């Protein structure tokens, strides 16, 4: 009995389609003249599935992989594994090409780990160590590339969702490393260091180029949308810095220097974040003023200041010569001490009126700025010793109420207000 045998993969499953003969395993096509030359004598029952030549499939897989046809290469590897489930070369190539088909949305690194585990398991004893090294090197390349891919997208589109995507990818990478190291005992500290550098670089590029630039705009008066977008983006950027720091292992020689630099970068963004606000244009006594409309709450500002001081402390722990600035140098806003004590809150119509008068009358005059400075130097002490007395509050409330009514009549509004500075 004669049958056509494919000269590439060795399969006898060759079927005529139209004017050509097509191998059903590797897809090679032959003309009738070429097919005649491939006729071979076979005997017994033909088991097509076991006739395929694994070595030829491996060569086809390698050729496809070298041509960046990773999906085709994976297909050839699957055919080899169908014939020989313990072919370590097929498992190794499949692990590579499956991994290189990863996207940030669909990372296939876990498949790669399974394939590499089988490649090491089925490799001959004299090749196991070599296979471990090759699998480790390939896994490092895959994970580093996945990290770079996520970061490159963030530079151009630094949204909160894209920042979250990087964080998710890093968590995935860390999980994969733990699983892979349990198989090989490999060290991935250098790869994590590279990923930390990529994240730091991505934020450093995205922040001035897009995040801050879109916040201040052309005129420097961000509206409510700009303020909220900046607040969310800046928060996400600082979390990315924390993610980068978590990737730096103590065993890396330059790790300490990179950590210090990232903490300094984080402090810069936090210092901008604590001051961020939106503006609205107002008219008082015929004059136009830009006043703050929305800003962070006092609680939010306090939390950011705490983060700034914690970052300074982390730097100090790594560099004893580093001088931590005084907390008081981080300004969030000035407080109307006496008025706040009298009315019981910093945010009420009366205090909003007084704060407007301070910012847009007193602050625009030399003597007014001197008065503000003196007021904030003396008021805390007055409130400390007299603020709890009923007489103090009663007298001052009567004076302030009269003053507020006069200011309202002059055009100073009593609506919600965020400080000028």
Average model confidence (pLDDT) for the chain? 86
Write the pLDDT tens digit of every residue in 360-384. 899 889 998 888 888 877 877 776 6
Write the pLDDT tens digit of every residue in 153-205. 899 899 999 999 999 999 999 999 999 999 999 999 999 999 999 999 999 99
Write the pLDDT tens digit of every residue in 14-52. 777 888 888 876 678 888 888 777 775 544 444 444 435
Mean pLDDT: which of 8-17, 32-41, 284-293, 391-400 is highest? Answer: 391-400
What is the rounded average pLDDT of the residues 384-393? 69
Q: Is residue 334 very low, low, confident or very high in pLDDT (cuts 50, 70, 90)? A: very low
Q: Is residue 269 very low, low, confident or very high in pLDDT (cuts 50, 70, 90)? A: very high
Residue 111 or residue 50, greater confidence:
111
Q: Is residue 342 very low, low, confident or very high in pLDDT (cuts 50, 70, 90)? A: confident
pTM: 0.68
Break the chain into its structural domains and give their ranges. Answer: 2-50, 219-332, 337-409
247 neighbors 193 (Cβ within 8 angstroms): yes
- % of residues, the chain, pLDDT over 70: 87
Residue 374 or residue 306, greater confidence:
306
Per-residue model confidence (pLDDT) at position 197: 96
Q: Which CATH architecture is the domain 2-50 placed in?
A: Single Sheet (2.20)
């Amino acid at each position: 009995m004669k049958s056509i045998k494919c000269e590439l993969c060795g399969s006898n499953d060759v079927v005529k389609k139209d004017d050509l003969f097509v191998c059903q395993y590797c897809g090679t096509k032959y003309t009738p003249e070429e097919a005649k030359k491939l006729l071979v004598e076979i005997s017994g029952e033909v088991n097509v599935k076991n006739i395929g030549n694994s070595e030829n499939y491996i060569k086809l897989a390698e050729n496809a992989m070298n041509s960046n046809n990773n999906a085709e290469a994976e297909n050839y590897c699957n055919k080899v594994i169908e014939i020989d489930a313990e072919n370590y070369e097929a498992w190794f190539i499949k692990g590579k090409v499956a991994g290189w088909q990863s996207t940030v949305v669909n990372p296939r690194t876990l498949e790669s780990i399974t394939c590499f585990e089988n490649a090491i398991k089925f490799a001959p004893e004299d090749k196991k160590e070599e296979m471990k090294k090759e699998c480790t090197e390939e896994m490092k390349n895959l994970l580093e590339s996945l990290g770079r891919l996520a970061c490159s997208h963030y530079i151009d589109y630094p949204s909160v969702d894209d920042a979250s995507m990087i964080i998710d990818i890093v968590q995935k990478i860390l999980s994969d490393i733990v699983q892979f190291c349990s198989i090989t005992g490999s060290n991935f500290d250098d790869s994590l260091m590279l990923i930390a550098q990529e994240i730091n670089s991505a934020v450093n590029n995205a922040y001035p180029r897009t995040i801050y630039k879109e916040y201040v705009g052309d005129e420097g008066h961000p509206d409510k949308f700009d303020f909220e977008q900046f607040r969310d983006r800046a928060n996400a950027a600082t979390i990315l810095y924390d993610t980068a720091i978590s990737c730096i292992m103590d065993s890396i020689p330059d790790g300490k220097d990179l950590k210090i630099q990232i903490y300094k970068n984080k402090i810069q963004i936090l210092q901008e974040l604590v001051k961020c606000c939106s503006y609205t244009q107002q008219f008082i006594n015929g004059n136009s003023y830009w006043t703050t409309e929305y800003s962070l709450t006092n609680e939010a500002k306090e939390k950011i200041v705490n983060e700034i001081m914690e970052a300074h402390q982390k730097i100090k722990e790594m560099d004893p010569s580093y001088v931590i600035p005084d907390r008081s140098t981080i300004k969030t806003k000035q407080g109307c001490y006496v008025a706040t004590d009298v009315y019981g809150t910093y945010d009420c119509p009366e205090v909003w009126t007084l704060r407007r008068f301070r910012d847009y009358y007193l602050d625009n005059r030399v003597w007014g700025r001197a008065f503000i400075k003196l007021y904030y130097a003396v008021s805390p002490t007055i409130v400390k010793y007299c603020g709890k007395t009923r007489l103090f509050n009663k007298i001052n409330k009567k004076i302030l109420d009269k003053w507020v009514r006069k200011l309202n009549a002059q055009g100073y509004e009593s609506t919600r207000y965020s400080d000028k500075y």
